């Protein structure tokens, strides 16, 4: 049972790392990863007197900021999300919110 759980956890980590890179549901995944990063930073880096922990906390905050940028702007034109909008069944769905006029 333990081997199955660790295998499942490893597959989940690989999927969460690969899916944003190929551009599948990038905005949703970036928001989920940002929430996890903030939660992990609060749980682990709580000793502000320790310089090392402060550096890692600030690093996590910077990563969260970049993930929020991906959440707002999306993956770009070379992604599966953009290719999904180009399919015939999704012709009415805009690629980005700013393209709505």
**Residue span of the structural domain in which 73 resides:** 2-99
- Is pLDDT of 5 > 70? yes
Q: How many domains does the chain have?
A: 1
- Is pLDDT of 70 > 50? yes
- Would you give the DSSP letter of residue 35? H
- Is pLDDT of 88 > 70? no
pLDDT given at position 101:
47
pLDDT given at position 54:
94
Q: Can you tell me the mean pLDDT for 62-82?
A: 86
Q: Can you tell me the mean pLDDT for 47-68?
A: 94
Dist CA 26 CA 21 (whole Å): 8
pLDDT exceeding 90 applies to what percent of the chain? 35
Q: How far is CA 39 from CA 12, 14, 22, 63, 70, in A?
A: 18, 20, 25, 13, 19
Q: pTM of the entire structure?
A: 0.71
Dist CA 13 CA 48 (whole Å): 29
- Is pLDDT of 92 > 50? no
């Amino acid at each position: 049972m333990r081997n199955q759980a660790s295998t499942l956890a490893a597959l989940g980590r690989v999927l969460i790392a690969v899916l944003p890179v190929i551009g599948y549901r990038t905005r949703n995944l970036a928001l989920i990863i940002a929430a996890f990063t903030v939660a992990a930073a609060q749980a682990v880096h709580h000793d502000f007197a320790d310089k090392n922990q402060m550096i890692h906390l600030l690093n996590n905050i910077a990563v969260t900021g970049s993930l929020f940028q991906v959440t707002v702007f999306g993956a770009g034109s070379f992604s599966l999300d953009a290719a999904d909008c180009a399919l015939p069944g999704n012709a009415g769905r805009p690629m980005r919110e700013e393209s709505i006029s």
